[in-house]
A and B are shown apart, each in its own frame.
Chain A
Amino acid sequence: MAASTHVILPLHVGSMDLSVTKPVLVMWIVSVVIILFVSLATHTSFGKRLMTLLYDFIHDSFASSLHTSKKLWFSFLITTFLFVLVCNLSGLVPLSEAPTSSLSVTAGLALLVFGVSHAVGFVCHGPKHIKHIVPSGIPPVMVPFMFVLELVSQLARPLSLSIRLFANLFAGHQVLLIFLGLIASAVPFLKLLPFAGVILLSMFEIFVSFIQAFIFTYLASFYISDAAHGAH
């Protein structure tokens, strides 16, 4: 299902395939770009303003759902947002491809969010976190059934989180590819139509990149605050 399995540096450890593929390379570049940008931006007044804007945006959007020990989870959210956003946007750079358009990357990110949210739950409530999965105020007879039901819904969270991000990026790029193919196959005096389509779709892809990064972070903050507050 991966968008490409173009191996750059084959590497096998035991039975595990740790080869460096294109998404992996792009992810490394994205990480370096984010680290350089964030550490260098604060030296210029424009960069300072930009980072303040970003901080305020994330703070106003997500921190309202994070009442307890806001600061620690906030840094996780801002990192997630920046990483997913730059990964999404890197798909529009020529010769590159979005790491988030391969299912393994989004599954890894979603499992990270899953792990962090439950770690937060255990840190805030200790072993009682397991009990808090079941909503409070239901008859004791129903608790085992509700526990199984809620367990399934908990396990479905990383699945839906990863597939949503993957499907958006993968489908968007496939549609772009189809339109690029249309340019090649169209009759000469109609080539302008698919070309305009490509430009419009590219703009739409930029919009989708932002929205999906926002949604991913929004859901991550929702899951974390859900775990931190315990029973709903």
Chain B
Amino acid sequence: MASTDMVRLEDLHAGRSPLSGRKHVLSILVENKPGVLARVAGLFSRRGFNIDTLAVGPTEDPEVSRITLTLDGAVHPIDQVTKQLHKLVNVLKIRDMEPEETVAREMALFKVSAAVENRAEIVQFAEIFRAKIVDVSRRALIVEVTGSHDKIEAFESMLRPHGLLEMVRTGEVALARGGD
């Protein structure tokens, strides 16, 4: 008998748990063609995957767009998500961004009710968070802030008590650190 006892069945293990338990940022390069976003979004809804944030835009190559989306790896099997995405012919490349090796940023605009007595405090928060006041009116300010998802969450929680009238967030965009 040749080396058959090298692989005992009890030593075989299936891959790691399909649920990672953390947030994932997927950077998806797609062909810049009509309907591609619908295909990607449709795949998520059909398979019951819930997108937390979504950002779409051009890349350095005019024929290629980048879809950056975040989803919860505690709920969704990320391997299965990426494998299904790969089956779309218009999807060129998918990167499941490693948090430590990624620069991820989100932008948000907050319209805050800003009576005269509150204004100074809001401006002070904005400075601390390196946010900018981009519009001022008698009753409200619009504050622009850029940063990580957590920073924006923190800023939002600071502003909320002052009367958050409206807000808009872009969803995260991300690039891998380093030269490749």
Do the two shown chains form a genuine complex with each other? no
Q: Which residues of A contact B (CB under 8 A)?
A: none
Q: Which residues of B contact A (CB under 8 A)?
A: none
